[in-house]
Structure 1
Amino acid sequence: MKNLDEIIGDIEGRLDEKDEVRELAIKSSRTIARLSGSAIQGMHRGEDVAPILRDAREEIQKLKSLLDGHPDLFHGGFVENAMQEASESFLVHAILEADRLPSPKELGVTDTAYLLGLGDSVGELRRFALEDMRRGDVLGASSFLEKMERILDALMRFDYPTGIVALRRKQDIARGLIEKTRGELAVAARSQELAERLDAVRGKL
């Protein structure tokens, strides 16, 4: 047992390093989540969020470099959650700009974080659809609903156990949001049609 202290010292050194990396990773993950949330809110206000997304992308790369050699931390809950929020913000932005969607590799996120972020994007697209409905833009709202449906169709292709990717809840939520939006859009369309008919009648008087 002469070398026990040496072994324990080595283990302690490695764990001290991992603890320091973990603390830095938590801060970085919070920064990514904050930037992603700010980008989403900015999109709803019609702002240019490209600089925010650029900062988020840079922070993701820094986090990946920090966790190189620490895969257990990279796949930990706090990092995965931040990557999920980042995926959502980048995907929503690409949809709004009618750009090609970035891939998980391009964003530097895991497949799981990407799919979960894609599922969350349905809720944000619903918000845009509701905003269009409030403005009387039924066609715009219909376009968002169509995108929501396409995302759900894509998500439904994944029927794996929760241990591989926990998508079932996202699928159920997306389906519920789509059904609700479809009903609200039908009401908005009928209201718009009625308003147009009334305007036509008034024009003849």
Structure 2
Amino acid sequence: MNISQIVRKLAEFLDRKDSTREILVQNARDIIRHSKDALKHMYLGNMSESRAVLEKMRKLCAELKSLVKEYPDLLYGGLMVNALTEYIEAEIVYSILTRGIDIPAPEDLDVDPVPYVLGLADALSELRRFILEYLRRGDVESAEKLLNCMEEIFLEISTLQYPEGLLPGFRRKCDIIRRLIDETKSDIIFVKTRRK
């Protein structure tokens, strides 16, 4: 095979890969947008609407995985991992709000461990917003239940001590969650003492 044939084959491969990447980028953006919508519905108490958005996200994630079969390296680019992390975060927050600590495992969501761990950490940070809303409404009991759930999950995931290359951003997320848990405890104590 001469060099022009080699380059032509390379260009054909890269053209196909680039077309796939463009579709992945759009799907990833849609997943991230839907994640915000799902969480918004949860804040408003519209759990059935949130579930419908999560189902759309699940389908988009399945499309992502099927699209990358020929080019698996594309799945681990920054935007793709971010999209999967957002999806996992929304699924876990929904699960905690509807079922408590009984959260889906990575295989239940058909996702890889790394975005799952990152999404789980993000979900814990997101729970603080729900806790603050409960406190605003005077529902200290629900706030404490969520805080207990947040702490229990955090104690488990904080044992995952791996290098930045394996779990990018995870240590920083854990530091933030630890601070949020402490702040949330203070908020709950403040509300309880104010009520007396």
Q: Which residue of 2 aligns with 1:56?
A: 57
Q: Give the number of aligned pairs.
A: 192
**Cα RMSD, aligned residues only:** 1.1
Q: Which residue of 1 aligns with 2:188?
A: 185
Tell me whether 1:162 sits opposite 2:164 in the alignment: yes
Tell me whether 1:173 sits opposite 2:176 in the alignment: yes
Q: Which residue of 2 aligns with 1:201?
A: none
User: Which amino acid is 2:10 matched to?
Assistant: I
User: Which amino acid is 1:19 matched to?
Assistant: D
SS in 1 for 2:45: coil
Tell me whether 1:151 sits opposite 2:150 in the alignment: no
Cα shift at 1:3: 1.2
Using the aligned pairs only, state the percent identity: 37
When the two structures are superposed, what TM-score results if normalisation uses the length of structure 1? 0.90
User: Which amino acid is 1:180 matched to?
Assistant: E
Mapped to 2, the partners of 1:105 and 1:3 lie a distance apart of 46
Q: Which runs of 5+ in 2 are unaligned?
A: none
Mapped to 1, the partners of 2:16 and 2:107 lie a distance apart of 28
What's the CA shift string for 1:142-164, capped at 9, x where partnerless? Answer: 11111111121111110011111
Q: Which residue of 1 aligns with 2:91?
A: 90
Q: Which residue of 2 aligns with 1:67?
A: 68
Q: Which residue of 2 aligns with 1:200?
A: none
Q: Which runs of 5+ in 1 are unaligned?
A: 195-205
User: Which amino acid is 2:90 matched to?
Assistant: S
Tell me whether 1:27 sits opposite 2:26 in the alignment: yes
Tell me whether 1:105 sits opposite 2:97 in the alignment: no
SS in 2 for 1:160: coil
SS in 1 for 2:99: coil
Mapped to 1, the partners of 2:142 and 2:51 lie a distance apart of 23
Cα shift at 1:120: 0.8
Cα shift at 1:108: 2.3
TM superposition outliers: structure 1 runs of 4+ over 3 Å: none
Mapped to 1, the partners of 2:167 and 2:70 lie a distance apart of 23
Mapped to 1, the partners of 2:40 and 2:129 lie a distance apart of 11
SS in 2 for 1:97: helix
User: Which amino acid is 2:171 matched to?
Assistant: R
User: Which amino acid is 1:110 matched to?
Assistant: D
